[in-house]
Amino acid sequence: MGTNTRTGRKGTGPGAITPDGCAVELYTRLPAGAEPDIIAAAVPAGARILELGCGVGRMTHPLVAHGFTVTAVDESREMLDHVRGARTVHSSIELLDLGQQFDAVVLASFLVNTGDADERQALLRTCARHLAPGGRVLLQREGQGWHTNLPSERVDPAGFTVRMVSSDPVGDGVNSIYAEYEFPDATWTQTFLSRPLTDDQLDAALAQEGLAVDAYLTDDRTWVCARRAA
């Protein structure tokens, strides 16, 4: 894995920055949020989970504490160095082929909204390739209209501010998003390419890889459970 920045993605601020523009130290500071509980409620107790794009283990660690066996994958070794209690694999998601299948494959953090349609399909293909019979793919996608009416700002109770500063169309339905994370002692920024996915577009992308939506796990339909298409 090189340290090359992926097209259209960039990050600034202290410490190591991943190829997709994420700051490692920033992710060590972010609270886990509701995501691990959403995942835990959607998979059987003790399940073997493949977590794609695990970062520093923000979701991995609560999942391990829930009693799941987690294999955590990331293309950033600096991110993986923070992961505890799980098997770690240093790889791009697109090229991952562990020769093993899992009860659940998690593709969170809006990776499915990548601006590059070929990359999105490669991510979903990796999910399908590692799915055990009867298993589930758990996807987190962006909510509808998330990047309209910017700038917007949210002050987190943990003591930092997240600003979604701008969303600029760059063609073919893709937007370049610029975000800031401001802490009392440091500021990080991230620029990334985002392609909104309607229900129909997501259905079509999943179908290409032999998958189909089984359920929406949250009222805002951002968390999706998919299974092998019948």
Closest-by-Cβ residue to ligand SAM is 55
Q: Which is nearer to ligand SAM, 79 or 205 (CB)?
A: 79
Task: Closer to ligand SAM by CB, 134 or 159: give it.
Answer: 159
Minimum Å distance from CB 62 to ligand SAM? 11
Nearest approach in angstroms of CB 22 to ligand SAM is: 4
Least distance to ligand SAM, CB of residue 213, Å: 21
Residue 59: CB minimum distance to ligand SAM, A: 5
Residues forming contacts to ligand SAM in the complex (CB under 6 A) are: 18, 20, 22, 27, 53-55, 58-59, 74-76, 79, 92-94, 108-109, 111
**CB of 125: closest distance to ligand SAM in angstroms?**
12
Nearer residue to ligand SAM within complex by CB, 76 or 176: 76
Angle of helix 117-129 versus helix 199-208 axis, rounded to 10: 60
| Peptide bond connecting 157 to the previous residue in cis, omega within 30 degrees of 0 | no
| Cβ-based nearer residue to ligand SAM, 111 or 139 | 111
Which CB sits closer to ligand SAM, 108 or 217? 108
**How would DSSP label each residue in 98-110?**
-S--EEEEEE-TT
